[in-house]
Structures are given as structure tokens and as C-alpha cells.
Amino acid sequence: MPLQKIIRNFRHILNKRSYSQYAKSFIRPIIKESDIQNITESKKINVLKNLNVKPPQNWESSSILNEVVLLKFTNYIMRDGKREIALTQLKKALEIIKKIQVEQYNKTTDEEERKQIILDPIRIVKQAVANCQPLLKLCPIRRGGSVYQVPVPISDTESVFRAMKWIVESSKEKEGPTPFALKLAHELLDASKNKGRVIKKKIELHRICEANRAYAHFRWG
Amino acid sequence: MSIFIVSKISIRFGHMRYVKENRERRKRTSYLPWRSAEVCENIKEELGKPYTQVIPKSTVKRISETNPIQHSLSDIGKFYTISEEHKKKYFQLNGFPKDFSEQTTIFNENAIMIRKPALEIIEYLKNADYTKLPIKYVISMHLHKYGRKEANISETRNGLVDLPLEGALLLKHFQLQNETLLNKLNLKTTKEYVWNQRESTKVGEPLMALVNHGLNRVRYSCDCIHGLINELKNAAINGQIKFLVAIGGFNSFYAGKTMIRMDEKYGTTTDQISIFQSFLSTLQNDWCNGAIIMTVCESTTLPKYRGSPLPFFLLRREGFETLDPFIPIQVSKLSELEFHSLLDYYEDRRWLQKIGARDELEFISCRIPAELSRYCATL
């Protein structure tokens, strides 16, 4: 092996910073008020009592406006590091979702129909992301001079990434002069009901994976 | 170079030893997740539970009396509803702000909270002496905006610009609100109006003929408004009617620049618009039996004139001097009672989904209604 290749293989070790402001024994803080209450009641508190705790990050707070899923979602909407614009777009989409759902709620008179409507917009976002998560992905692997699309199982974090990316992409694709926030809102609403183009995309990927099932053993070759 | 690499690796190995020692301790704290894992866990946790709608704890304070004249100071913070018939009659085209009319469709009812400034004006109007000059009341709020519009040069009045479509809308709004009243009063024109060689409105015709002419021949709508205002002023002087003028966003009259395009140029100023000039004629002290209510707001002016809600800053010297003397009425931020009754209403209509965060909302919004509605929109 040439020296250059060796260095390339170990680059992630060489370039990694091995120091930190805090020692490894420090744990991350617990931020949500409900989590703190749960932990103080349980036995875990005896372990945590004697550990050192880091201060919270800049983006972490116990505020009601702070939601982890939304913070993650803005990263995929964002362009050129303009986080504020991305956040306002997402908030507009949430508002549109709530307008549609609340209007439907107030206009229906039947009690049982009313109870089935989901009014919380953040719940709808979570439902939509969960419905769009794929189970497999296609990996190009070279065997015997030709490249095969091999189905490979996907980790939880990556499938969430795929789902969010697809939702954002498909709301950018739509035709017409309608604003991005409106498209995003309708895409999220559709996905939460297991409809729409993102769900179609997921089903098609699963179908190709099923067709390429014969290549699955190339993963270990 | 080589020495450098070795030293780095040695640090790395040292670090690995340290990790091995602390592996047990790290296992114990592994339930505290990192960012992307945290998102996955959050989604799973939330969707694991079945969804139940949030049920509000407190009830809304409502009042059955729909006539605002009957309300008193003890009713502040309560909600009253406008019926659909009245809404269709008085607020079909204009009158409600855009945000409010949007909310009425979402909430499926037209509810308004009683606040102090409205009661203050009604009390002034009740006790005023109408034999003397009209009193001007200035509120800080806003109703109308103007942007890029179709425009023509006025034929009757030199150097002025007509906005025919805007004028027709205004006449339609006037017609919807006052048709029954005008038919009952039986007012007639006191002057002959000649529009062109063939068309004219003669003396002694009903006042509604003037309005209808403006609606049928949109080109003359601005001249019709000018005639109508003069006729109403005359009727008020004679004691036939009581004349109330309501103007929203009055400071836009003195904004200077407009987005109106004449001869492919953006040169027209607000003084040149004929509708504004005819409304300014109501501010002159040459009539009685009436009152003028107008609102002043930051959002109706150009961005460079924003910065303070005070009337002198918004109207500038020119506008302030034409208005002076007037009675200023401040719309202050929500009191604690109003704040809680508003949030009760939001919860009742299922607009606010997160209950139990009132302290934080109060702190963030400073009880300013616009800020509060902005924060509640996503929660």
C-alpha cells in the first residue's frame, strides 16, 4: 500500500481533535421540565447526583417555542446558512396547517368526527415524518465489472433524514407560483394521512428493493 | 513531519485508554441522546401514545348584548358576537382588518372583545354638543392600505389623479351600509352635476342616483364621491342628518410617495390623489352636526416613517397642523384581565394547543396583542 493511501485511511483519526473543554466524564444536561420531574422521581437520580454536568448548548432551552424536530427540519429547508428565513417559512407552514384543521373542527357539528381531527401542528409534522421513513436504501456496489443496486437496511437516524429531505424536495418541485410555505403545509398534511407524492416515492423505492432482492448477498462479498 | 504525526497518534492512543477506562460510566449515561438520535426518539415517543385533543380548563366570558352602545366599563374583557346578517350588511367589502376577517372564517363566529378605547369614544359621542364644529378623534389602529393601482388623470379637477376602481369600491361600501337609511330620509341633490355633453344629474334627484351613477360609470366614481361628500355636509348643516366620517390609517394621506404609475413613472404623490383631497375637505371647520373618527398606525406608512406610534411622528408637521385640535385616544397593551380572557377564547376555539404556558407567553409578548397572536399562531 502506498503511503498516501495509508494516510487517507487514517485521516479521520489524524485530523480529529482529541481535546475538549470538558472531560469525557461530563454528561449533557437534561432540559425539558417534564424529563427532570420524571428523573427525580425514579432511581436514576442516585447515579446522576454525583456526575458533572455540561452547560446547555445555545439552541437548547426549556421554552415552549423550542421543539427538537422543528430545529432539525429547518436545517433541511435552510440555504446559505439563512436560518431565520427557513424558520419563518416553517412557522408559516405550521400556521396554515392549524388554520385548515381548526376551521374543519369548528365547522363540524358531529362530536365523534370532531375527536378524530388532529389539531396540534407539531404532532402532524411528526406523523408525516414517521410515515415517510423508508426501511431500505439502494447502494451501488461493483462486482465483476458491473455495478449493482443493492438493497441495504437503513439506520433510524438516516431514515428520518431521508423522510425530511424528501418532504422538502417535493414541496420545492411543485409547479405554479404558490409560496413554499403553502406547498410544504399541504405536503405535510398529505403525508400524515399516508397520501401524496412523498409516500409514492417511498413505495417506489421499496418496490425496486424488492426487485433487486437477488443482489442482496453482494453486501458481504 | 514524521515526529508530528507520531505525537498525534500517541495522543490519540492515550485518549483511547481513557475512553476504555470510562466505558462503564458512559454506558450508564447513554440514554441521554445526541442530536439526530434525539429527534428519532422524540418522534417515536410522541407517536407511541394515542392522540388526545387538549381540553380547555376555563370557560370564555361572553355577553349576550350585541349593541355596543349598551356596554359599560364593567364589561371590559368580555366577548360579544356580530350576527351574520349584520356582517353581510355592514362589513361585506371593507371594515374588518384582513387578519380579523380571516379569523372569523376559522373560528366560525364574529366575536369581538370589549376594550376601553371603544367605550371611551362611544361615551364622547353620546355627550358631544352637535350644534358646534365637528370634533376629531384620533385612534392608533389601522384598516386600509394602498399599493399599485389603475389610475387616470382627473378631467374635472386640474393636476389630480383619479383611482376609478378604488372609488367604485368605496361607493359600493357606502351603498351597502346606508341604503335603507337614505331611502327613509329621502335626501335630494341641491346642485346640478354635468359629467359630459350627454350625461348629467339634475337638481332634486335622490342622492342614491349619484351613487348609482358612480357605480355604473366607473370613470366618474371619484367625482361622484366628491359630490356626495359635499351633499352630505350640506344636509348635516341643515340638520337633516348626523354625519359620521371614519377614516382608517389616516397617516397614509401624508406618506408622500405612492406606488401609482402614471405615464410609466412613479412620480405621483399623495396630495395629487382626488379621493384623499375630497376626504380632506371634511376636516375643514365649515360644517356641524357630525364627528370624525380616524386611526393612525405605523404599518400604513412607508418604512422610513415608522419607528414610533405617536401621532406627531406619524402625521408629521403637515398632517398634525391640519388636524389640530383633536382628541387623542391611546390603544394601550392588554391588561392582565384582557390577556387571560383572550387566551381563554383561543383555547375555547382550539387555536392555542399548548395549555399551561401563559407565564412564558406573557413574558415574551409583553401583552402586546399583535405579538401575542404571532406567537400563538404556531403553538
CA A146 remoteness from chain centre: 34
Give the separation between CA A172 and CA A170, rounded to whole angstroms: 5
How confident is the model over B105-129, as a mean pLDDT?
A: 85
Which CATH number covers residue A134?
A: 1.10.455.10
Indicate the length of chain A as a whole number: 221
Same domain? A128 vs A212: yes
- Domain boundary pick from A66, A98, A122: A66
Q: What pLDDT, on a 0 to 100 scale, did the predictor assign at position B7?
A: 31
Question: For residue A22, what are the contacts with CB-CB under 8 A and spacing of at least 6?
Answer: A52, A54
Residue B193 has pLDDT above 60, yes or no: yes
Half-sphere exposure of A142 (CA within 13 A, CB side): 1
Identify which of B12, B108, B361 has the shortest CB distance to residue A13: B12
Judge: B36–A95 Cβ closer than 8 Å, yes or no. Answer: no
Same domain? A43 vs A93: no
Range scoring the smallest mean pLDDT among A188-202, B73-87, B208-222, B263-277: B263-277
| Residue range(s) defining the domain that contains residue B309 | 119-329
Asked, for residue B199, whether it belongs to a domain, the answer is yes
Cα separations in angstroms, B143 against B95, B152, B246, B271? 7, 25, 10, 20
Judge: B379–A118 Cβ closer than 8 Å, yes or no. Answer: no
The alpha-carbon gap from B5 to the nearest alpha carbon of chain A, in Å, equals 8
Asked, for residue B187, whether it belongs to a domain, the answer is yes
Identify all chain A residues contacting B8, using CB atoms and an 8 Å cutoff: 14
The alpha-carbon gap from B258 to the nearest alpha carbon of chain A, in Å, equals 26
Identify all chain B residues contacting A94, using CB atoms and an 8 Å cutoff: 377-378
Q: What pLDDT, on a 0 to 100 scale, did the predictor assign at position B134?
A: 65
DSSP 3-state of A139: strand
Query: Which is more confidently placed, B23 or B202?
Result: B202
Q: What is the pLDDT of residues B337-371, one digit of tens each?
A: 999 999 999 999 889 988 888 888 899 888 888 88
Same domain? A127 vs A30: no
Residue B303 has pLDDT above 90, yes or no: no
Asked, for residue B215, whether it belongs to a domain, the answer is yes
Tell me if chain B has a CB within 8 Å of the CB of A165: no
Tell me if chain B has a CB within 8 Å of the CB of A154: no
The number of domains in chain B is 1
Contact B165, B148 (CB under 8 A): no
Same domain? A141 vs A41: no
Identify which of B22, B38, B39 has the shortest CB distance to residue A24: B22
Same domain? A29 vs A105: no
Same domain? A108 vs A41: no
- Domain boundary pick from A26, A47, A66: A66
Question: For residue A52, what are the contacts with CB-CB under 8 A and spacing of at least 6?
Answer: A22, A23, A25, A26, A27
Same domain? A149 vs A40: no
Query: Could you tell me what percent of chain B has a pLDDT over 70?
Result: 83
Cell 500517541 maps to which residue?
A: B10
A200 by Cβ neighbours in 10 Å (0-12 / 13-18 / 19+) ranks as: exposed
Same domain? A21 vs A113: no
Q: Which long-range contacts (CB under 8 A, 24 or more apart) does B333-338 make?
A: B333/B366, B333/B367, B333/B368, B333/B369, B334/B367, B334/B368, B334/B369, B334/B372, B335/B76, B335/B77, B335/B367, B336/B367, B337/B76, B337/B77, B338/B76, B338/B77, B338/B113, B338/B115
User: In the structure, what pLDDT confidence band is assigned to residue A97 with cuts at 50, 70 and 90?
Assistant: very high
**What is the ipTM metric for this complex?**
0.79
Q: What is the pLDDT of residues A35-55, one digit of tens each?
A: 888 888 988 888 888 899 988
Identify all chain A residues contacting B357, using CB atoms and an 8 Å cutoff: 64
Range scoring the smallest mean pLDDT among A215-219, B325-329, B372-376: B325-329
The number of domains in chain A is 2
Judge: A25–B37 Cβ closer than 8 Å, yes or no. Answer: no
Which span out of B145-154, B210-219, B254-263, B305-314 was modeled with the highest average pLDDT?
A: B210-219
Residue B151 has pLDDT above 80, yes or no: no
Nearest chain A alpha carbon to B49? A123
Contact B104, B295 (CB under 8 A): no
Cα separations in angstroms, A208 against A134, A185, A205, B168, B180? 12, 29, 5, 61, 70
Q: What pLDDT, on a 0 to 100 scale, did the predictor assign at position A13?
A: 61
Asked, for residue B155, whether it belongs to a domain, the answer is yes
Residue B34 has pLDDT above 60, yes or no: no
Q: What is the pLDDT of residues A25-37, one digit of tens each?
A: 888 888 888 888 8
Cell 461530563 maps to which residue?
A: A26
DSSP 3-state of A156: helix
B256 — phi, psi (to 5°)? 90, -90
How confident is the model over A106-113, as a mean pLDDT?
A: 90
Residue A124 has pLDDT above 90, yes or no: yes
The alpha-carbon gap from A187 to the nearest alpha carbon of chain B, in Å, equals 17
Same domain? A82 vs A59: no
Q: What is the pLDDT of residues B236-260, one digit of tens each?
A: 888 887 888 887 778 888 877 777 7
Range scoring the smallest mean pLDDT among A9-23, A92-106, A166-180, B37-51: A9-23
Judge: A160–B40 Cβ closer than 8 Å, yes or no. Answer: yes
Give the separation between CA B96 and CA B177, rounded to whole angstroms: 14
Q: What pLDDT, on a 0 to 100 scale, did the predictor assign at position A11?
A: 61
How confident is the model over A93-113, as a mean pLDDT?
A: 92
Tell me if chain B has a CB within 8 Å of the CB of A193: no
Q: What pLDDT, on a 0 to 100 scale, did the predictor assign at position A180?
A: 92
| Residue range(s) defining the domain that contains residue A178 | 67-220
Which pairing describes strands B290-295 and B135-139: parallel, antiparallel, or unpaired?
Answer: parallel
Give the separation between CA A170 and CA A191, rounded to whole angstroms: 11
Identify all chain A residues contacting B350, using CB atoms and an 8 Å cutoff: 102, 105-106, 119
Asked, for residue B102, whether it belongs to a domain, the answer is no
Cα separations in angstroms, B206 against B191, B210, B216? 12, 8, 16
Residue A202 has pLDDT above 90, yes or no: yes
User: In the structure, what pLDDT confidence band is assigned to residue A12 with cuts at 50, 70 and 90?
Assistant: low
Judge: A25–B22 Cβ closer than 8 Å, yes or no. Answer: yes
Identify all chain B residues contacting A156, using CB atoms and an 8 Å cutoff: 37, 40
Q: What is the mean pLDDT of chain B?
A: 77
Q: What is the pLDDT of residues B225-236, one digit of tens each?
A: 888 888 888 888
Same domain? A192 vs A131: yes
Judge: B35–A72 Cβ closer than 8 Å, yes or no. Answer: yes
Identify which of A64, A105, A118 has the shortest CB distance to residue B354: A64
Judge: A126–B354 Cβ closer than 8 Å, yes or no. Answer: no
Q: What pLDDT, on a 0 to 100 scale, did the predictor assign at position B152?
A: 57
Q: What is the mean pLDDT of chain A?
A: 87
- Domain boundary pick from A15, A37, A66: A66
Identify which of A64, A94, A102 has the shortest CB distance to residue B351: A102
Same domain? A91 vs A194: yes
Same domain? A31 vs A102: no
State the amino acid at position A180 in one-letter form. F
